[in-house]
Chains A and B, each alone.
Chain A
Amino acid sequence: MVTVRIIPCLDVKDGKVVKGIHFEDIRVAGDPVENASFYSKEGADELVFLDISATIEGRKTMIDAVRKVADVVFIPFTVGGGISSLNDIEILLSNGADKISINTAAVKNPDLIKEGAKKFGSQCIVVAIDAKKTERETWEVYIESGKKPTGIDVLDWAKKVEDFGAGEILLTSIDRDGTQDGYDIDLTRIVSENVKIPVIASGGAGKLEHLYEAVVKGKASAVLIASLLHFRILTIPQIKKYLREKGVNVRI
């Protein structure tokens, strides 16, 4: 059977990795290729690059970075951040990205999911959903980097994006993100149980048990990890060994 995927997430600004591995060697610190190669060798199953550039120039630099990574790293990677048109998608895919992830643009223009899936195939369209818990024990979709509430229910939205042709959901708990208190398991499970497409759990990983819970209790197909790996609190071999001992199917 298919294995659970461990996916490091790297933030990139103007073509430089700003949230990535804390290399001792300052020369390689912000290099997307060094970061990607490092994690690929360590056993990462996929990579996610989140482009947080605020300028057009910065985005162009990102495309160069994508190409350089695709020249030497032969595992799948997703690029997200600021993608709002079919043209944006095409440029990234034709330069070596395997998947793109859309968030705000998907909410504002759901046709982008449909048209993207039709033109490029569902398998390369990831819809990222930023979820915040409400007082009624449901979750609300937030856009614009988690700043703007939309009034849309996360579960409704997840089912819709599946119907529109998304191939995967990258589900981030805004409440847990950066806390290291663990993934929002209830959120992950309710979404995963109600869609047929794979769900990637994101936000809140702090220790090994959290990863196990996301997969076994939350039924996530993959886990996204950032700081925990970047600061070398945990390593990918350590995570995979732990999960395997607990009976989870991983690629070692």
Chain B
Amino acid sequence: MVGVIKYGAGNIYSVSSAIKFLGEKFVLVENPEIIDRVDFLILPGVGSFDSGIENLEKTGILEKLKYRLELGIPFLGICLGLQLLFNVSEEGKKEGFGILKGEVVKFKNEEIKIPHMGWNKVEILKDNKIFEGIVNNSFFYFAHSYYIKTQEDIIVGKTKYGIDFPSVIIKDNIVGVQFHPEKSGKMGLLFIKNFLEGKWLQ
């Protein structure tokens, strides 16, 4: 059973429908109790940094989520769902999960449009089962104004937009993507399928 965390207002329907489309079962996680019953967790990207943390705190999900992360539950953070894993973000004042080392910063290049909106390439930096069947430099859909800066060794995919930024990270049981796999057509569905198959964990 896949738990899709509902923690803010926005389109989490598409993440759920992608899981359903892949033939897997899911449940919406709206309170901490349900977290005990799921085998995979997905934190979709909706809203902003502070409102995201606030909602996770208010519902009591945050504490339970951190606990299950420590115990090693396979986790996929999408867009803001990746950014929340860090301690600080230029988008907000609140403290994030602090699970990953680094920070969340805003695109500052004068030459580019912000948000980074549309299809862009992901360059695979490290061979990993999460990319099984996915050709290097495949297109994925992005919609964000902030990106992560983190330690080199966890970055497995990067994307160029004015600068190079990490678009896929893997650390132990955690996968994080800056793009929206649920909105990236066939390749995106394949990415989610690979995540749920869990071969990347071994």
Tell me the A residues contacting B by CB distance below 8 Å: 1-5, 40, 45-46, 67, 70-72, 74-76, 90, 93-98, 118-124, 167-168, 196-198, 221-222, 251
Contacts and interface: CB of A to CB of B under 8 A. Distances in A.
Contacts of A71: 17, 20-21
8 contacts: A2-B118, A4-B118, A46-B118, A74-B14, A93-B11, A120-B46, A121-B47, A121-B80
Tell me what chain B mostly uses at the interface: helix, strand, loop, or mixed: mixed
Interface string B92-128: 0000000000000000000001111111100000000
Interface of B: 9-14, 17-18, 20-21, 46-48, 51, 80, 113-120, 139, 141-145, 160-161, 180, 182-186, 188-189
A120 B48 CA distance: 7
Given A2-B118, A122-B145, A167-B115, A74 B48 contact: no
Contacts of B13: 67, 70, 94-96
B183 A196 contact: no
A96 B118 contact: no
A239 to B, nearest CB: 15
Contacts of B47: 119-121
Contact of A221 (B14, B48, B118): B118
The residue among A46, A120, A121, A221 with the most chain B CB atoms within 10 A of its own CB is: A121
A209 to B, nearest CB: 22
A168 B117 contact: yes
B117 A74 contact: no
A57 B137 CA distance: 45
B182 A74 contact: yes
Contact of B114 (A75, A95, A197): A197
A98 B11 CA distance: 6
A-B complex: 4 closest residue pairs judged by Cβ atoms: A96-B13, A123-B143, A251-B119, A2-B118
A94 B9 contact: yes
Contacts of B188: 74
A70 B19 CA distance: 12
Nearest to A250: B119
Given A2-B120, A46-B118, 18 more contacts: A3-B139, A4-B118, A5-B118, A45-B119, A70-B17, A71-B21, A74-B185, A75-B183, A76-B143, A90-B9, A93-B10, A96-B17, A98-B143, A119-B51, A120-B46, A120-B47, A198-B115, A222-B118
A124 to B, nearest CB: 7
Contacts of B185: 40, 74-75
Given A74-B183, A119-B47, A119-B51, A97 B11 contact: yes
A74 B185 CA distance: 5
A227 B75 CA distance: 44
Given A120-B9, A123-B143, A221 B46 contact: no
Contacts of A90: 9
The residue among B10, B116, B144, B184 with the most chain A CB atoms within 10 A of its own CB is: B10
A48 to B, nearest CB: 14
